[in-house]
Amino acid sequence: MLLYLPKRGTKLMQELDFEQPIAELERKIEEFRKFSAERGVPLDEELRRLEARREALVKEIFSKLTPWQRVQLARHPDRPTTLDYVRLMTEEFIQLHGDKHYSDDPAIITGFATIGGQKLLLVGHEKGKTTKARVRHNFGMAHPEGFRKALGKMRLAERLHLPVVTLIDTPGASCAVGAEERGVAHAIAVNLMDMSRLRTPILCFVIGEGGSGGAIGIGLGDRVSIFENAYYSVITPEGCSAILWKSAERHRDAASALKLTAADLQRLGIVDEVIVEPIGGAHRRPEGAAQLLKETILRQLSELRRVPIDELLENRYQKYRSIAYFSEDGALTAP
């Protein structure tokens, strides 16, 4: 269940079930502020006490989230999208369109960006925020032309000696008939092949949902990082539940079994770094999340620029060759 509740008196925010105790406190804080302003009654001490309680409650709730709750946060309607990060952390952004074969796919945004004085190519899924925008962007589910657009712009970045930064946020690639007819699986495969040998640094960030081929189609890089409350998985929990238990109702069990949280992925060597989100999640502090992402991008690019390109490509190859675990008599063994 989702409720619309006020946050800081200026914005109606969509709240998840487990956030409701926080929302109730925030409502009470706003009532006190309104009463104080209208009646001229000083309530500073009481407000400080309530705000301290709210911060403590946020820390308590977010310190023990289940995998399914993190999936819910990754999908939160107020969570920053690629275009939000473009607005919050770039000094300049020149959007590029089209795949030169079929059309422009709004599910994937590409463009030249300047972040902290660093010029780069930015590629990211875009879900949209309003109902109209979500439909236009196909909820971030890219068609083959989206993947081809992304790869074409990456090849251009390679020729211009610009690094590539990708922002992953999709439940998966489009599974519409048209996408299949135009070769979505082939487009993803070509992206993986070419990104593996692209002669420029590639940074990949899972900012929300990292679902299946739609995610890996722009997700092969020298560094793969993930936000604390994002997820990365071969399938959504609902899809996994439908296959294993013939019903989507066991999505909570599936989320736990898939090991899709940031902590699980780092432990298994799937991601290189976890970006700890501002307290309460990126949807509560988008500016703080953008600052953390910006700092991570600049730091990682600085590190990768010191590596000769041939060594960078060899490291990239070995990185993906070593991601695997084999089960023998119930024991997990790395290659």
* pLDDT tens readout for residues 50-93: 778 878 888 888 888 999 999 999 999 999 999 999 999 999 99
Q: Residue 17's pLDDT is what? A: 80
Query: Could you state, in order of their start, the residue ranges of all structural domains in the chain?
Result: 15-64, 72-323
Q: What is the CATH class of 72-323?
A: alpha beta
Q: Residue 49's pLDDT is what? A: 82
Place of tokens 């104080």: 36
207, 293 contact by CB (below 8 A):
yes
Q: Residue 330's pLDDT is what? A: 58
Q: What is the pTM of this model?
A: 0.87
- Residue 288, Cβ density class (10 Å: 0-12 exposed, 13-18 middle, ≥19 buried): middle
- Closest C-alpha to 123, from 102, 103, 105, 135: 105
Which residue ranges in the chain fall short of pLDDT 70?
1-14, 32, 41, 325-335
Q: How far apart are CA 174 and CA 142, in angstroms?
A: 5
Q: Residue 59's pLDDT is what? A: 82
Six-digit token string for 134: 């979500």
Q: How far apart are CA 233 and CA 229, in angstroms?
A: 13
104, 142 contact by CB (below 8 A):
no
Quick check: helix, strand or coil at residue 105? coil
Q: Residue 21's pLDDT is what? A: 80
110, 122 contact by CB (below 8 A):
yes
Q: Residue 7's pLDDT is what? A: 41
* pLDDT tens readout for residues 96-149: 999 999 999 999 999 999 999 999 999 999 999 999 999 999 999 999 999 999
Angle, CA of 82, 217 and 308, to the nearest 5°? 90
